[in-house]
Amino acid sequence: MIINYFPPVLILGLILSFVAIGVLFYFNRQLKRKLELTNKALLALQEEFTQYQISQKRLGEKEIAKREIRFDNVARAIKKNEDFINTVNQKHTNLPETIRKVIGHIEFAKPINKKTNI
């Protein structure tokens, strides 16, 4: 009698093992899909973050360049003003004497219009 029940138990064991193997394959496939999607999402995030870093670095470099240009312009303007002041100071070292000479010529000049004496 034990021999009569042995093949159905074997068949039932084989069926259950095939079902278990099928379930394992199914879960394995689902896990692979999730891993692939996760990998794609992480790669996209990495690429986006890299682009963000590049854009921030470029923005920082542009700001630094703008500041340097601004500082150079200010330095040039200061140098130009200093040169102008030095030139004026060099030309007019004897400013009171120059004013006396000019006023002396004006005071003793002949009038242009003889009728009005201007």
pLDDT digits (tens, 9 = 90+) for 17-52: 999 999 999 999 999 999 999 999 999 999 999 999
In angstroms, the CA 105 to CA 8 distance is 139
Residue 54, in any domain of the structure: yes
In a domain, 64, yes or no: yes
pTM: 0.48
Q: What are the C-alpha distances in Å from 7 to residues 13, 84, 107, 108?
A: 10, 114, 143, 145
* Mean pLDDT, residues 93-102 taken together: 76
Is 117 contained in some domain?
no
Which pLDDT does position 1 carry in this prediction? 47
Residue 75 is given by DSSP the state H
Length of the chain: 118
Q: For residue 64, what are the domain limits? A: 2-84
> Taking all residues of the chain, what is their mean pLDDT, rounded to a whole number?
86
Sequence-distant (≥ 6) Cβ neighbours of residue 117 within 8 angstroms? 111
User: What is the tally of structural domains in the chain?
Assistant: 1
